[in-house]
Every structure is written in C-alpha cells, then in structure tokens.
Amino acid sequence: MALKTPEQFEESLRKMNFKIYLMGELVKNPVDHPMIRPSMNSVKMTYALALQPEHEDLMTARSHLTGEKINRFTHLHQSTDDLVKKVKMQRLLGQQTASCFQRCVGMDAMNAVDSTTFEMDRKLGTKYHERFIQFLKMVQDEDLTVDGAMTDTKGDRSLAPHQQADPDMFVHVVEKNDQGIIVRGAKAHQTGAVNSHWIMVMPTIAMSKEDADYAVSFVCPADEKGVFYIYGRQSCDTRKMEGGTIDVGNSRFGGHEALMVFDNVFIPWENVLMCGEYEFSGMLVERFAGYHRQSYGGCKVGVGDVLIGAAALAADYNGAAKASHVKDKLIEMTHLNETLYSCGIACSAQGSKTASGTYLIDLLLANVCKQNVTRFPYEIARLAEDIAGGLMVTMASEKDLQHPEIGKVLEKYLQGNAGICTEDRARIMRLVENLTLGTAAVGYRTESMHGAGSPQAQRIMISRQSNLERKKKLAKKIAGIKE
C-alpha cells in the first residue's frame, strides 16, 4: 500500500497511544477532540487530494527507491521539477484548507537528512544513510505522516547547549549502550505532532565539539514510551468546543503546535541518524531550514488566496466593492501574495543536485523567500482587516444570531448589501477574523514570522550566501580598478 485513504489515515491515528495534555487534562481521544480534530482534517486533505486524478501530478510522485506511486510528502526531490511541484502542491493545500496541513516539516526533514547522512557516511564511514533509506522505504510504503522536530527550548540564548544551567534545554544523549541511546529534552512549536505517526528529530543549531552529545538525530514512533505532548493554546481556540460553525470562522480545518517532551526515551541504533558527529550538525540545520523556508512560498500563498477571496467577499457584502481604494487594496494584496509565490518558485527552479542525488533548493533565494514571508502576510492581513471593517471583531455571537428574538434584531441591523443574507456576511467576517487573528493566524500570520526560523536567522543566511567579494570584483572591473 503506497497511498492511504483519508479514512485509513484517521483509523491509523485511533490505533496509536498518544499521551497528550490539553488545558490541564490528559486527552483520552485526540482524534475526536473538538480542538484537535480540525487539524487532523487538514492532514486528511493531503491524503484525499492524492487520490483525485486531477491533482495526481502535484500530489504524488514515483519513488526513486521502489518505482511505486507515492504521496509527494514522502518523496525525495529528484529534480528541480520536483521542487517546483512541491511549492505548487503546498499552495493547492493552503487553498483547500486555509490552514496549516502539517506534513511539510517531515518532508523537509527527510530531504535534509538524506543528503546530510549520505555525505556524513562518505566522509566518516558511518552507516546512517543506510538506516535512513530503510526508514524512508517504510514511510513511503505505508504513506506515513512524519513530524520533523528541530526547535529546542534553548533556555538562555546567550549560552551554548553544554553551558546551560539545565542540560535538558536542548535534546541530548544521556546514555549509550549496545542496543541504542537514551535521550532527554524537549522540542517546542511542534506542528502537527499529535497527527503524526513518526518523529524525525534533528539538532537545532550547528554544534561544537563540546556540544557533541547534542548533535543527535533519530526517528521514533510518535507514541513511543517516554514521549508526551503539551498542546499549545491558540487565539479563540475554545470556540471549537462551543458546537457551532459561524464563530469559528474555519470550522472544518485548522493546525496545531505542541511541546514535545522526551523523558529518557530509548532509541535503538537502527533508528539513530547522527550521534556526536557535530561537524555535520550545521549542514543538517542549514539544509532543513532552506527546504522549510522554500515551503512558505507555497503554503502561506495558498492561505493568502483564501484571505484575499474573503476580503473581496467582505467588500461585496458591505456594498463597498466598487470603491477605488478597495480595488487598489485587493490589487496590493494580490501583488504581495504572488511575490511570495515567485520567490518559492524561483528558489526551486534554481535548485541543484546534491551528492546523494536529492535536489536542494537555492539557499539564498529560499532565505529571501522566507524573509519576505516575515513581512508580506502582515500587510495582507492588515489590508484584509481594513476592507472587512470593525464588525469583524465586534459582532455578536453565533448563539445571539440564532436566538429567536434578538436574532431578528441582529439580522436587521447587521444587514449590509441587501442582496446578501446577514448570516453569510457574519460567516465571511468570522473567516477574516480567523485568518488574521484567530486559530488560523497561528499558521498564517504569526507562523510567517517565526516558523522555519526568525527573521534574523534568514538575514544571517542571506549574508553568508550573498557572495559580497564576487560583487566587489564585478564593481572593480566595471570601474576600471585593478586588483
């Protein structure tokens, strides 16, 4: 079985034994929990679209290992065409869910680990790449969702991992034996963690010799003994527990993040992909970050498409669609959104082959892409809020709208365009609120800032990749200055 159905994916999660804490309580049934299920629905869409003939080219690929048709989220990029299709696939899914669909991190992690372990083995004589390939074959064959876990809690940012007052601020090896290793620590902001089958852990920064115990990469089942999760809060998240659909804005789909804790977790050697090879930790971090910064040129653009559409509908429902300033704002939103997409396509088209055969994006352009993502969605959201109007955040509740008495009052006074029913106007206002301020904003606006690294992380990479010395030589040559 190379392609799961959405129903098979859901059933596979029901068979897992997750330990999840949400709002101070241990969750007994995460699949059906009203705060978690919308995020699971988003992941289901990655399975559903892969089975639709019209999306087959984007959503699936041929495994270079087995020749079988597989979900593109389990694929290693074999060409620049694969890199471009990845971005197009992510835009499609953003359009279909208007939220985070959560499989990108694992896909990006697997592609980064592939080329890094290959080059590590070639230089050091280790056997990590063989282990990775065996894991990947399982992931492809069973169409598994993998959570890529990179971000450590970090403690005091001015101190290296080995200097921390508490050594667990970075995931690290606490014991080695003939069977494997034992690890302890936590990974923060883990997108889609409780909708995943496996975890792929990576170091979060380039490590020094003194930090060798922290230069660790491995895979383990997401419900492994000793792994537990503390579910993160999102703005307006408890609206999902009220039983309605209007106030949520996007009642079908969503995303989530969690703190993933490793409490002395045993990892057998066959699942260890780096253990002390600190000199390759920076390569892994850099390549994963590049792939994930490319991803934002697709997923955030797809969600942006929905937000632009919602803003345009709000203008229609408000009776303001013909106003020249509204038209201009929609043009600006589209310009910004398509600029992000252009960056995602550009860094993909300019990708190059690594030693393992997997294709890597252009790292400079990928970081430029993500740097723009830290800015443009904020302006797109601002313009959407401007067009929607203040009612977006002062509107009465769904229960009031449906009340037998006051509902009639609201229907009368919240009427905009006479051709549009008040409930439809309320729904589109709540969708704009959801995308700019609510739960979806976590996966759109705020994640645009901090996901795949903060803005300064991209600026550091842009500086490293900018090749200023070559640019100086070009200027000297044109100016007639001899070396």
Distances (CA, A) of 319 to 189, 312, 416, 418: 41, 11, 7, 9
> Does 142 qualify as catalytic in the annotation?
no
> Does 296 qualify as catalytic in the annotation?
yes
Distances (CA, A) of 318 to 278, 314, 328, 431, 434: 58, 6, 16, 15, 18
> Does 191 qualify as catalytic in the annotation?
yes
Tally the C-alpha atoms within 13 A of residue 260's C-alpha that lie toward its C-beta.
34
> Does 231 qualify as catalytic in the annotation?
no
DSSP state letters, 104-165: HHHHHHHHHHHHHHHHHHHHH---HHHHHHHHHHHHHHHT--EEEE--B--SSTTS-GGG-S
One of 277, 398, 433, 447 is an active-site residue; which one?
447
Round to whole Å and give the CA distance between 276 and 117: 13
Instruction: Find tokens 């090879």 and name the residue.
Output: 277
User: Residue 81's beta-bridge partner residues?
Assistant: none
> Does 128 qualify as catalytic in the annotation?
no
DSSP state letters, 44-97: HHHHHGGGSGGGHHHHEEE-TTT--EEEGGGPPP-SHHHHHHHHHHHHHHHHHH
What per-residue string of b and e applies to 284-309 under the rule 16 or more CB within 10 Å gives b? bbbbbbbbbbbbbbbbbbbbbbbbbe
Round to whole Å and give the CA distance between 34 and 245: 12
Q: Which of 311, 278, 290, 147 is nearest to 210 (CA)?
A: 278
> Does 33 qualify as catalytic in the annotation?
no
One of 10, 224, 257, 286 is an active-site residue; which one?
257
One of 129, 172, 189, 292 is an active-site residue; which one?
292
Do 74 and 139 contact (CB within 8 A), yes or no? yes
Specify the pairing of strand 227-231 against strand 20-22.
Answer: parallel
> Does 100 qualify as catalytic in the annotation?
yes
One of 220, 275, 299, 369 is an active-site residue; which one?
299
One of 100, 275, 343, 369 is an active-site residue; which one?
100
**What residues have CB less than 8 Å from 478, skipping those under 6 apart?**
none
One of 47, 296, 359, 444 is an active-site residue; which one?
296
One of 117, 126, 191, 422 is an active-site residue; which one?
191
> Does 421 qualify as catalytic in the annotation?
no
One of 33, 60, 104, 117 is an active-site residue; which one?
104
Which helix or strand (DSSP H or E) is residue 249 part of? Answer: none
Residues with catalytic roles = 100, 104, 191, 257, 292, 296, 299, 447
